[in-house]
A and B are shown apart, each in its own frame.
Chain A
Amino acid sequence: MRRLRLGLLSLLGFLGILVSGAMAQSNLTYELRVGETGKAAVVDTFPGTYAGEKVNISIQPSAISHQASDSLDFVFVDRPMPTLESWAEQVYAFTDSEGTDWTVWRKKELPKNRKKRVLVQNAYGAFEQYLHASIEVKRSRGWIWFVLAGLMLAGVAAYSIVTVVQRRKEKQLTSVEQEMLRRKRMGMRRHYGSQLYLWLLLLVLYAPIALIAVFSFTESKILGNWTGFSMQLYANLFTGQADAGLNSAIWYTVVIALIAAVCSTILGTLAAIGIYNMRARQRKVVSLMNSVPMINPDIITGISLFLLFVALGVSQGLATVCIAHVVFCTPYVVLSVLPRLSRMNPNTYEAALDLGATPAQALRMVMLPELWPGMLSGFILALTLSVDDFGVTFFTKGSGGLETLSTFIYSDARKGGLTPELRPLFTIILLVMLTALIIINIRNNKQENN
């Protein structure tokens, strides 16, 4: 019964994949439609454009200049235009219902992540009327569905072969053995099912990351275009030949993270000692205050600090970003130091004072050795929070051109492309984290075994 259900389910899934694959296939042609004028319908391939993307055409009575070329992606002209050749290539020509010959030019390096801008230009350089039209560029990579379907089919086939073979073997067993096997398998199958669920979830979670990692080994400017294996991006990253903005963003990210982590560790440790020694009511108030930056989403923290700096008339830059990062990092340091405090003997500090140590000496020689694991984990937490932050940095960085990695990626993505060297950078970060995790795990296991 169970097996039947499983078989039916996989069959259904397989059919679903096939159907969606077929549906994806049906719009494999790229469509370019100047819709609302009804004068021209164009079907053509535009390599490098997006699937299912709607292209908005705004027809403006302005001349094409090289300055404008950055903001334009397609140009429709009704006469030869050699000046276009430096940044665009001719991809299509058609005649509309009024007998005018049009050529379509496409920017050579078409950005992917934004709406395409189109300019239509006629022989007189100006338009008699404004037109609103839309171009639809549709494309799908139907083969992905077929690969998936194939994989699934292979899985189902393998599973059924294995079960058939197993059944034959089982028939030779005694009934008691069969019953034992059945019980064992019931337990195992539950386990397999849940394992499968987790692994599927992980597969989905890691798919985009795998995409970044895979495409870090090719030179293509656009994520998703494979232009052959190459380590060039890694080389660029390490020799500093990457985009200057990226280099400074990496530099600022590291500097800000270190400053914020050091400051918040010092501030947070002192605060934790203070809070620990407070009376219950005071402690409650301060803990509440401590939890406010953790509850606040980063946009609120960012905006409120932004308003503070505006009200104070402080010009925003590195200092304000550092302060903002200390604000949201310190609570976590406090929370990671407090448990260490409650675990240590509260009398040792006083004993040190009684024996003639100054508070500073007692702090350094008695408290710190006990507290440092908590401080270290707080420090690491602060580092990662700071590196990962986008919202707070975005509102406090000012307009002086200061960018951290997050804000750099954001402005990059909004511009359309993604600086290719980001791919190897994050692949390396992921690998480092993965290795660290594996090492920690092995160590923990060893400790447990001992």
Chain B
Amino acid sequence: MSKVLQIFSSRRTWAWPYILFMALFVVLPLVLVGVYAFTDMSGQFTLRNFAKFFSHSEAIQTFFYSVMIAVLNTAICLLIGYPAAYIMAQEDFRTPKVMAMLFILPMWINFLLRTVATVELFNMCGLPLGEGALLFGLCYDYLPFMIYPIYNTLQKMDNSLVEAAQDLGANRWKCFWKIIVPLSMPGVYSGVVMVFMPTVSTFAIAELLTHNNIKLFGSLIQDYITTTDLLNYGAVLSLVLLIIIGLTSFFGDHDASGEEKGGMV
């Protein structure tokens, strides 16, 4: 008994339940994706699933199309979101907190419902559904993820550096590109990661926004994984997506992105 107590009096051990839980429900499932990708229906090792992927032109095309849409969406979000974050982080901007909250508030409405409402809005204005609607909807859903981290880094930035640059004779343009932009890069990185990753893996939104006319990689995975016979092939597609996600998060600073996301409420 005293030994048990001793073990638990060391607070280091308090994390063990969580570590076990994570091992079972985070690490093992991810390993399983790989296992399923390399096996066939009867559990035998096979590479046929991969061969199928590389000869499956629809899957490859959808994949590149999804990546393109995600890149485009990230670029649009950055173009729209950076100025917004910059304006909010200005010293003479009086209500930054309210503004930040106003940008986050729409996220409390279920994103599928917002998507349906966006579709309705497009219909009311007589705009066609399609690629444009898709990009609008995606940008609409993920813009706050871009604005918030950039705003955070800009706000924490040491303003005396800007003043120093101005004192040393930099004009506003130079000051912006040489001082503010480089200093805000961490925020931009985490914003880009936080927009790109959900966009490249998105499913459901695209179907609703384009009347099922455009299929993104996420929907393709969904189709295969929910079909029992094609589960292993679906695992291959998931693995491809996982690799993309891994590469992206390798380039982005994941610790920062976690904190930003955690601070959103």
User: Measuring CB to CB, which residues of chain A are less than 8 angstroms from any residue of chain B?
Assistant: 24, 50-53, 112-115, 139-142, 144-145, 187, 191, 194-195, 197-198, 201-202, 204-209, 211-212, 223-224, 267-268, 270-271, 273-278, 282, 286-287, 289-300, 303-308, 310-311, 323-324, 326-327, 330-332, 334-336, 349, 353, 358-359, 377, 380-381, 384, 388, 390-391, 394-395, 405-406, 409-410, 413-414, 418, 422, 426, 429-430, 433-434, 437, 441, 444
Contact = CB atoms under 8 A, between A and B. Distances in A.
B22 interface: yes
Given A191-B92, A274-B13, A295 B140 contact: no
Most A CB within 10 A of own CB, among B123, B128, B241, B257? B123
A381 B265 contact: yes
B135 to A, nearest CB: 13
Nearest to B252: A295
Given A308-B29, A390-B204, A405-B110, A205 B143 contact: yes
Interface of B: 5, 8-19, 21-22, 25-30, 32-33, 36, 80, 83-84, 87-88, 90, 92-93, 97-99, 101-103, 105-121, 123-129, 140, 143, 197-198, 200-204, 207-208, 211-212, 218, 221-222, 225, 231, 234-235, 238, 241-242, 245, 249, 254-255, 257-259, 261-262, 265
Contacts of B207: 414
Given A202-B102, A426-B110, A303 B221 contact: yes
Given A198-B99, A327-B22, 12 more contacts: A114-B211, A202-B102, A209-B114, A212-B113, A267-B17, A277-B11, A291-B258, A292-B30, A295-B254, A308-B25, A327-B25, A335-B258
Contact of B112 (A331, A390, A444): A390
DSSP class of B's interface residues: helix, strand, loop or mixed? helix
Contacts of B8: 359
Contacts of B105: 430, 433-434, 437
A294 B258 contact: yes
B232 to A, nearest CB: 10
A320 to B, nearest CB: 10
Contacts of B83: 194, 197
A311 B32 contact: yes
A406 B110 contact: yes
B144 to A, nearest CB: 8
A358 to B, nearest CB: 7
22 contacts: A113-B211, A114-B212, A144-B126, A194-B93, A197-B83, A202-B102, A206-B106, A211-B117, A223-B117, A287-B255, A290-B22, A292-B27, A297-B201, A300-B33, A308-B32, A377-B265, A390-B111, A406-B110, A426-B113, A430-B108, A437-B105, A441-B101
Contacts of A224: 120, 123-124
Nearest to B27: A289
Contacts of A187: 92
A212 B117 contact: yes
A224 B126 CA distance: 12
Contacts of B18: 267-268, 270-271, 274, 330, 334
Given A381-B262, A390-B112, A433-B105, A115 B29 contact: no
A300 B238 contact: yes
A343 B168 CA distance: 40
Given A50-B123, A194-B93, A433-B108, A208 B197 contact: no
B201 A409 contact: no
Given A115-B212, A209-B106, A295 B241 contact: no
Contacts of B10: 277
Nearest to B200: A297
Most A CB within 10 A of own CB, among B110, B119, B140? B110
A299 B203 contact: yes
